[in-house]
Amino acid sequence: MKEFLFNRLDTYFNEMVEIRRFLHQHPELSFKETNTARFIKDYYEKLGLKVQSDVGGNGVIARIIGGKPGRTVALRADFDALPIQDEKDVPYRSRIPGVMHACGHDGHTALLLVLAKALYGMKENLHGTYIMIHQHAEEYAPGGAISMIEAGCLEGVDAIFGTHLWATEPTGTIQYRIGPIMAAADRFEVTIQGKGGHGAQPHRTKDAIVAASQLVMNLQQIVSRRVNPVEPAVVTVGSFVADNAFNVIADKAKLIGTVRTFGDGTRQLIADEIEKIIQGSCLTSGCTYEYSFIKGYPAVVNHPEETTFLIECASQVPEVKKVEESELQMGGEDFAHYLKHVKGTFFFTGAKTPGTAEVYPHHHPKFDFDENAMLIAAKTLGTAALNFHSPKTEEPAVRNTLA
């Protein structure tokens, strides 16, 4: 069965590349992916699959019901893009100004579509049910996972598997991690209210830019002096906005940033410490403030049994040259929500572009990946799906969901 699936995927690889490149040329931002969702729906309907659209927003679900009894496994891919101008000099460069697939979601979508096609062609010999979850809005909290779960995408699911094409690691590498693998991703916003005035008369003002600048520096003490050194954490100010006239002292400045953590205690500690430091900075400058801490995605925590199972499956894929433990990643992923409801695992598929002098990271204007990695990811996910349904694992058919 596995070899037959691999042969089908090899045969369909050119189609996988064509789909990826089409999607790359026509990206859509989070919560606005209507054309992409329609493309996914149309693809499945042409195959003859049962498909459900508008799931929790723009989400799409397809189901493959095997000819033999068994459990239910879900495979997930995301399909939203980012507000970045594509600067690559390639034929499939984004045609949408200021929007591009800079994180590989076009590849995730293409590989899952073609994997579904390959599996559907084998349906009479398959055990159980395969659910293809195409999720919208992974890039922007609250994300699409919560609404799709609330809409029932995990009903009856025994396990879920997902992967991320990882352009900073060599093609042929699969990276896993038991337990936490990706961080909780939160957002904070601070508005400093001072008293504006003439640039030549600072003594008559309360300079919001100076207060906010001091705040940016003081926030750096949280991780270095407030958080336990063995606890991974990040506090980053990503946006600083104030008036831009050269001879005006701004009366208001706004900071926006992100916090990345793994432990709930550390998460709350940082939220509290940020406000304490804001209070101190404003006290010394005579300013007032507004502060909000918006919790985003929780940490991605892989389940031990399913991760060990994935390691075994990955080693069965001929193109996989190395299966290794991943470092903790401070990036966030709303796949975390699925793992809070159903057991499963999330892993990385190396996709480093070969022969390039410089590797551009995810979310970079020149981001790209080795398209051969899509085939490896599809075979790894496909192997996990098939092995999960192998007859030796089906008795007793104990449901693997969490309370």
Task: Using pLDDT thresholds of 50, 70 and 90, give the confidence band for residue 396.
Answer: very low
CATH 3.40.630.10 domain position(s) in the chain? 2-181+299-393
Q: 184-297: what CATH class? A: alpha beta
- Which residues are annotated binding-site positions for Mn(2+)? 103, 105, 139, 164, 363
DSSP 361: P
* Annotation marks residue 80 as catalytic: yes
28, 33, 78, 80: which one is catalytic? Answer: 80
CATH 3.30.70.360 domain position(s) in the chain? 184-297
CATH topology of domain 2-181+299-393: Aminopeptidase (3.40.630)
33, 78, 138, 371: which one is catalytic? Answer: 138
Angstrom distance (rounded) from CA 296 to CA 186: 5
| Residues facing residue 342 across a β-bridge | 401
For 339, the enclosing helix (H) or strand (E) is helix 335-339
**Per-residue pLDDT tens for 74-123?**
999 999 999 999 999 999 999 999 999 999 999 999 999 999 999 999 99
| Residue whose structure tokens are 């994180």 | 103
Q: How far apart are the first and last CA of the chain?
A: 33
Does the pLDDT at position 142 exceed 60?
yes
Does the pLDDT at position 394 exceed 70?
no
Residues of the chain with pLDDT > 90: what percent?
A: 94
- Which residues are annotated binding-site positions? 103, 105, 139, 164, 363
Rounded mean pLDDT of 286-305?
98
Phi then psi dihedrals of residue 182, to 5 deg: -130, 150
Q: Give the pTM.
A: 0.93
Of 398 and 220, the one with more pLDDT: 220
* Crossing angle of helices 372-388 and 13-25, rounded to 10°: 120
Rounded mean pLDDT of 285-295?
97
| Residue whose structure tokens are 């691999």 | 6
Does the pLDDT at position 297 exceed 60?
yes
For residue 393, what pLDDT is reported?
43
- Yes or no: say if 97 and 359 are a contact pair by the CB < 8 Å rule: no
**Per-residue pLDDT tens for 34-70?**
999 999 999 999 999 989 999 999 999 999 999 999 9
For residue 392, what pLDDT is reported?
53
Calculate the dihedral angle through the C-alpha atoms of 49, 55, 57, 59, rounding to the nearest 10 degrees.
Answer: -40
Does the pLDDT at position 292 exceed 70?
yes
